[in-house]
Amino acid sequence: MYKYDTKKKLLQHDFQSVQAMLRYIENGSFNDNFFHRASEIGDYEFSLTESYNEAHDLCKRGALPDEIEKANEMIDELKQTKIYTIPKRYSNFVGFAPNVPAYLQGNPKNMYDIRKEKRKKIDVYYGAESSGRTSTDDIYLKGITTMGLIKLLEENGFNVNLKFFAALENGKQRFLTRLLLKEEKERLDIASSFVPMCHPAFSRRIVPRLLEITPDADQMWQKSYGLTCSEYTSRYLLDAKENDILINDLASAKEWFKNITEGEASEQLREGGI
């Protein structure tokens, strides 16, 4: 679904699957403001594809068995230890502190106790790689690390919403794409998530093609395909909560994984609502 918010100058696309995104692109028409199309240029080393059509076919196909096997091997190598849980007070017969109101009412459960409960739902926003300086190896590792993070959360009882996004700004306009990769009740499927998360062709050919067929994109986008929005702006455009996980680059993916595996998850995650 596409809409243009004239007040915010926001070009916004929302898709419920990769296949829906590809169908939209197939049926779209080029915006006349784009003369030289980034989705069609660039050498193999930049996107690991020779053309846009190859990237398109790659997305339709998904990950091959050997790619899935290699991804699983790398994820298994990531350190998995403990994860933070969120303390919650309960009234009990014994505990660490008195529950004064319960005591005055003669309730035998007049002490506060703590049981640990995990936060049940977490939204993970996975950002497109828009910097041309980022190596294809780092794009791959960013995806693998984020997949490891999601599997770790799932194995510890969390439900994870996984959403790919691209947030760019150029002049007065902003461009936002949101793509649902996994709903909270689903387990991570590497086969369908591999290309958007790990293959450079998705960010460097598919996302640019989506911009090139966006009808309200002005002439400024021809000169430059924009700059990545800051984390603050991205969260605002995505309507992401403070305790949602946002992955912009390899460094942020590693930091989130480290915080959780070492039991040092931020207050944002620990205090998240259920």
Q: 153-183 pLDDT, tens per residue?
A: 888 788 999 999 999 999 999 999 999 999 9
Distance CA 136, CA 45 (A): 8
Distance CA 5, CA 117 (A): 40
Which carries the bigger pLDDT value, residue 199 or residue 89? Answer: 199
Q: How many CB atoms lie within 10 A of CB 12?
A: 17
Percentage with pLDDT > 70 across the chain: 80
Distance CA 29, CA 154 (A): 40
What's the rounded mean pLDDT across residues 12-40?
Answer: 95
What's the rounded mean pLDDT across residues 131-146?
Answer: 93
Q: What is the pTM of this model?
A: 0.81
What's the rounded mean pLDDT across residues 29-54?
Answer: 93
Confidence check: pLDDT of 82 > 80: no
